[in-house]
Structure 1
């Protein structure tokens, strides 16, 4: 269940000017997606997408459930054909009957009006790609688009988009206008180039059609596989929305980030940079791995930035010549014993020089004070000194004594 976070606190000042130590998020309108709200000050929402063929009802239901059970709050599925779209009704009902009503998003791409209208009956949000939703045949002469030609295509887009907008509006459902850097429409490429400007103008064209139809349950994304392009597009989108008085929430992601360590670093560089600016209301880390591998990365990004707390925060020094025990080994043992807990800060510090000061904000501390012994702290208070061999066990006992322990 979502709860509104506390307002950011001002932790210190410099020459009477406040210095923020918490991220102050951009104000956006709330958009309901099933039982989850994106924007409106609610916690940043975690999303992912299943790999299963949507025609496989049982396989899709199992995949959605696996993601939801580990913390994925909204799940996206692909619908490449009308047959896939119709099957979504069975998937949704099967989830309700055997598990729960998980918020679902349908991914609609090429010439998508018929597919989109069908999936709108079954899911909580429809994602469309402005560059592919209406097919734009390249100009035969390769020349510039006249204003009349530009407007003519715009009218075709409106006619194709309007039935979907009306359907979603009447059902109280949501739309994601999901622009991809690699699939901009022909006239946007010709007019603006393969640029963040083209991405933003593509999104704005669709937003304005939605607004003219009194529909504002909209989430925007502007994804790119190159981090600098992705960051520039979102920052420009925010600037343009501010100029136009728009407050739509943003879905962040680096598309096609790859796999392994670099895929995670690349996603963190793009998503984390924008979140630190206060930009972003929902995220997806797109890895070339099992979707379940994406969720821990999302939560790690959010936790590192102080936007959500879903696991233990470990504070540990990098080790040096003063360290009085095998810090890496001890940190591993502490983590193994406590990683199932939620919301605690636990510090593991190698010596007394940095220990109490560097871990001052931690709930509990494990500090080397003399060879063979460690000191346990509750906050800034030293509670006891125990043999190193008993350190982890004594730490657990201390957490239990405070009533903050739960069995794994």
Structure 2
């Protein structure tokens, strides 16, 4: 029987007298006796302390035989720096998985597994021979969308249910003295995936278990979307030292998964090898196991202001872009690059329009055309941010001014006209007495601006420290994560680094947007990457969300071809999620978050789903895409594609 402490935040349980009262805080209490009752349609375990003097916890869930999992504080080795979690070694053939070994990478065969010759050719005969010689290892994996009815009745389709489901199988393995296994928590939603792994490891710390972890965001999709989702989920956990083998699950040829796997593994290895981190600090405000977004105060209109600043940030997450003087020479091209709508050459904001721009150099005061282009952006509530030195020498009316902590401490910003909007750049690792100047400043937003080339300080841990400081001092400035990438960085490295360093914060609700810069990268690529990152973190939806499996021997149609066809006709539906699954074995379960499903039901036949419910069966493949569109229309989720001007 498991023993331990129970936090007072476990949702849905409450008691009186000697029972435990579950509140919002993460305070901990000791319990020793468990009693159950049934309330309404939900079975709830109420823990009652029949011996207030004891500090031993004897925990049981509503189902007999397995301990109830409860959240604990510790889920990684260090919250101050990247320290890889210690695990035992599991042998898969002669490949060792665990903390004493490099992070392993995986892919999957796409052949029909009944075709022995083709499968053996793809996975290499020596691997099979060594598996026979050394025995087999097991991976205990839980799928967010395929939990049993029994688990669902107690926990719902939650991260906690995923962990309890996996632990049931692990306990059987332990009873049989079998330990050559590792864990996997499968979810297509990176936020759910991160929470599930953290809960899993937190419980393993309590149980004294040290089994390795396989990391992956299941059904991540294809292209940059798939790589971004994987970077958010896998990269976040690697930054906390969690993970021993990884897979980037792409709807592409299996060999295409290897490259992003290597890039992620190298990122995690580098962080752990050089012990990136910050000085220790007490963490009280971040929620490890459930998503609660920090509420940064969005700009409010002030009396006497000539323009509307309320649109310079977006409530669901903001995208900022760096603009050059050259781009101002062709205003209409600039407006289109910012994804603004044009009406008679005038820009207007839309759902996927950039919210604010950073202009490191202002045009000369006599460059009327460039200044008119900026004025038109400001007039539609797009923020224009420029450095203090530029604004003092070539002032632009209604611009927001970028200052650093030194310029605040010296009072240089006081040379600006009264009421000028300030944007403050901070690293996050400054001494607290330096950060204290923020207490007396009315800033529109902060830029978290740790240089990308910084070796010893982790951007993720520095930002966590900054948010703790802001929380401790009741400072609710919006925070924009700013990364300046060097010239020559590979596009995939940029996507993975952004997903890891920014995604690791946004999945914890820490941050209000991002600004990505790379001097030699295409403007549209940086803008799309930024919006993809926000959508991958379940913040701002600007296009259709796709969940698509990576293909395997069971796939009943060409996934890449069909995915491309469906995307071409449906990509303009923000807020709608569509699952494209090769077969019914894992498809209905792994598309848990999707609104609509396109699933191979038999050779040449497609089944259509609404949520997890099949609504049409055995549609001829040539008619299935049109039937899917009609299904979306029938449920009131369709809009016609916008007409290009």
Interval containing the TM-score (normalised by the shorter chain): 0.7 to 0.9
Cα distance in structure 2, aligned partners of 1:75 and 1:298: 13
Conserved in 1, the CA contact under 8 Å of 2:325 and 2:361?
no
Q: Which residue of 2 aligns with 1:388?
A: 621
Conserved in 1, the CA contact under 8 Å of 2:360 and 2:387?
yes
Q: Secondary structure at the match of 1:72?
A: coil
- The farther-off stretch of 60-69 and 89-98 is 89-98
Q: Which residue of 2 aligns with 1:75?
A: 357
What are the within-5 Å matches in structure 2 for residues 264-303 of structure 1? 264-287=495-518, 288-303=520-535
Conserved in 2, the CA contact under 8 Å of 1:302 and 1:309?
yes
Cα distance in structure 1, aligned partners of 2:367 and 2:433: 32
Q: Cα–Cα, structure 1 residues 96 and 286, in superposed 2: closer, same or farther, change >3 Å?
A: closer
Q: Cα–Cα, structure 1 residues 60 and 130, in superposed 2: closer, same or farther, change >3 Å?
A: farther
Show CA shifts across 1:282-311 (max 9, x none). Answer: 211223313222121112111111112211
Instruction: From the two aligned structures, give the one with the greater helix fraction.
Output: 1
Unaligned runs of 5+ in 2: 1-10, 13-41, 45-67, 72-154, 160-191, 193-289, 301-307, 341-351
1:225 to 447, 452, 456: 452
> Segments of 4+ in structure 1 off by > 6 A?
10-14, 16-20
Structure 1 residue 240: Cα displacement: 2.2
Q: Cα–Cα, structure 1 residues 68 and 205, in superposed 2: closer, same or farther, change >3 Å?
A: farther
Structure 1 residue 369: Cα displacement: 1.2
Q: Which residue of 2 aligns with 1:52?
A: 325
Cα distance in structure 2, aligned partners of 1:201 and 1:85: 38
1:345 to 574, 577, 589: 577
Q: Secondary structure at the match of 1:36?
A: coil
Q: Secondary structure at the match of 1:217?
A: strand
2:295 to 8, 17, 27: 27
Cα distance in structure 2, aligned partners of 1:354 and 1:129: 52
1:114 aligns with 2:392: yes
Tell me the TM-score normalised to structure 1 length: 0.72
Conserved in 1, the CA contact under 8 Å of 2:445 and 2:480?
no
Larger radius of gyration: 2
Structure 1 residue 52: Cα displacement: 2.9
Conserved in 2, the CA contact under 8 Å of 1:179 and 1:223?
yes
C-alpha RMSD over aligned residues: 3.4
Q: Which residue of 2 aligns with 1:178?
A: 425
What are the within-5 Å matches in structure 2 for residues 192-203 of structure 1? 197-198=429-430
Q: Which residue of 1 aligns with 2:380?
A: 101
Q: Cα–Cα, structure 1 residues 31 and 226, in superposed 2: closer, same or farther, change >3 Å?
A: farther
Cα distance in structure 1, aligned partners of 2:640 and 2:594: 21
Cα distance in structure 2, aligned partners of 1:45 and 1:306: 13
Structure 1 residue 254: Cα displacement: 1.9
Cα distance in structure 2, aligned partners of 1:127 and 1:241: 19
Cα distance in structure 2, aligned partners of 1:306 and 1:237: 23
Q: Cα–Cα, structure 1 residues 29 and 88, in superposed 2: closer, same or farther, change >3 Å?
A: farther
Conserved in 2, the CA contact under 8 Å of 1:64 and 1:75?
no
2:401 to 114, 126, 147: 126
Q: Cα–Cα, structure 1 residues 376 and 256, in superposed 2: closer, same or farther, change >3 Å?
A: same
Tell me the TM-score normalised to structure 2 length: 0.47
Conserved in 1, the CA contact under 8 Å of 2:377 and 2:383?
no
Conserved in 1, the CA contact under 8 Å of 2:545 and 2:575?
yes
Cα distance in structure 2, aligned partners of 1:352 and 1:24: 34
Conserved in 2, the CA contact under 8 Å of 1:36 and 1:73?
yes
